[in-house]
Amino acid sequence: MRTTNRVLMAAAATAMALALAGCGSDDGGSKVPTAGGSTTSKASGSGGGSGDASGGGGELAAYIDGKRAFVKCLRENGVDAPDPDAKGQIDLGDNATLKKNPAYLKASQECASLNPPVPESLEKSLAPKLSPEQIKVRREYAECMQKNGAPDFPEPGPDGNVYGDAQWDQTSAGAKRATRTCAPIIGDPVDAGAGKG
């Protein structure tokens, strides 16, 4: 069950990173690696971005190579996955649909060992810029979760985001209780259960 949670969390993180990456600019002449190992020229765009958000070309290249191997494995396991983009992001579509797709869930479990973690420098460039109020809310939520049954809930950084392989046990009774208790902090409706009467 925990492996499925990690896969779903990775899919959710990928979807979020994709949404954020869509706001970037195109450098007009960079090459995009394909899952087959070759590169394709990107179409000219209107932006003038650097194309290497990580600041470390070798780290980004290694990450993209890992993503290409992951995509190749997904395809070999029956999932029609697109090539990674210039930042290694893969547009797998709607996350809610992925969670219900048994073929994707099975393939992503089979290929999980090939899916590399996002380099921290790239992860930071893809992270949303939060307002002071949003940062405050995220810190309050993390503190609430930790005090109410999820002591391993990840602590947000100074910018309010969590980086790296932030794992926490979502399946324990304490974690479920903390999630219900702290939901109002982030605006999630609290599950009140079935009413009487």
Q: Is the pTM of this model over 0.85?
A: no
Domain layout of the chain by residue ranges: 2-126, 132-186
Question: Cα angle vertex 21, ends 17, 26, to 5°?
Answer: 160
At residue 15, the pLDDT reads 40
* Length of the chain, in residues: 197
- Whole-angstrom distance, CA of residue 10 vs CA of residue 59: 20
| Averaged pLDDT, groups of 10, the chain, 197 residues long | 41 40 40 45 36 59 94 94 90 84 92 89 83 94 95 92 81 93 85 44
At residue 99, the pLDDT reads 81
At residue 190, the pLDDT reads 59
Query: Rounded to whole angstroms, what are the CA distances from 2 to 15, 142, 158, 179?
Result: 20, 21, 29, 17
Q: Which of 77, 78, 90 is nearest to 33 (CA)?
A: 90
At residue 177, the pLDDT reads 95
At residue 24, the pLDDT reads 40
Tell me whether residue 99 is exposed, middle or buried, using C-beta atoms within 10 angstroms of its C-beta: 0 to 12, 13 to 18, 19 or more: middle
DSSP helix/strand/coil, 190: coil
- Whole-angstrom distance, CA of residue 172 vs CA of residue 10: 20
At residue 55, the pLDDT reads 45
At residue 174, the pLDDT reads 93
At residue 32, the pLDDT reads 43
At residue 191, the pLDDT reads 52
**Is residue 63 within 8 Å of 119, Cβ to Cβ?**
yes
- Whole-angstrom distance, CA of residue 110 vs CA of residue 104: 10
In which residue are the tokens 């109020």 written? Answer: 133
Burial 128-165 (b: 16+ CB within 10 A, else e): eeeeeeebebbbebbebbbebbbeebbebeeebbbbee
